[in-house]
Amino acid sequence: YDTGTPIMRPMFMEFPDDPSLADMTSQWMIGSGLMVAPILHHSSERSVYLPTGGWYKFQTTKLYSGPATRDVSPSLDEIPVYVRAGSIVPLGPVIQSTQDLPGGPLTVEVYPGGDAHFSLVEDDGTSYRYMRGIERTTTFTWNDKTRTLSWHRAGSYSGPNVFTHMNVVVYFSGGKQQKAATLGPTGQITFVPSAQ
């Protein structure tokens, strides 16, 4: 709500120098890191265009290089989703209402391949008090060179619906690694990728 940039956006907004994306309507970005390429027609396969850079198949260690076109045949219950290398993807637990928060630990997924950052903003979930600064922002930063996720929290909100624990998952090409942490005001976790 700060910049007016839509969360769901056409591919050309993220890759304005790629003319092949000017009229692409069958896949799109969610934020700057997630690319969605659903099956839109009666078929069990489709071509997915991966723009320049590295792309992970969502929640896997499979890394692909773009620009490239891949033919995929997802299962009936799968939507092809790819994550740009150098992204942080936060995932909350499945809940029915913001009143159910936190509902479990926050999952922070890291897809290596570049430095990344993400800001998680938490408030009471029911009022406009955030407009008066009654909120808290936790900024997560991934340093790709040191393989370290660090975080820093700012803000005054401390209601019962904030995340206090997290699971960090890093999708290295040599294998997935996971660590749990208490989500305090500041902290960091360093990962050592497995030998490939």
For residue 4, the model assigns a pLDDT of 85
Phi, psi angle pair for 35, to nearest 5°: -120, 125
142 close to 117: Cβ distance less than 8 angstroms: yes
Q: Is the pLDDT of residue 144 over 60?
A: yes
63 close to 56: Cβ distance less than 8 angstroms: yes
Overall CATH class of domain 8-84? mainly beta
Summarize the confidence of residues 155-164 as an average pLDDT. Answer: 89
**What is the residue extent of each domain of the chain?**
8-84, 87-190
Nearest to 37 by CA among 22, 58, 6: 58
Q: Which fold has domain 87-190?
A: Immunoglobulin-like (2.60.40)
For residue 36, the model assigns a pLDDT of 98
Looking at residue 102, its amino acid is P
Q: Is the pLDDT of residue 196 over 60?
A: no
Q: Please give the model's pTM, rounded to 2 decimal places.
A: 0.92
Asked if domains 8-84 and 87-190 share a fold, the reply is yes
Q: Is the pLDDT of residue 74 over 60?
A: yes
Q: Is the pLDDT of residue 189 over 60?
A: yes
Tell me the C-alpha distance between 151 and 119, whole Å.
9
Q: Is the pLDDT of residue 193 over 80?
A: no
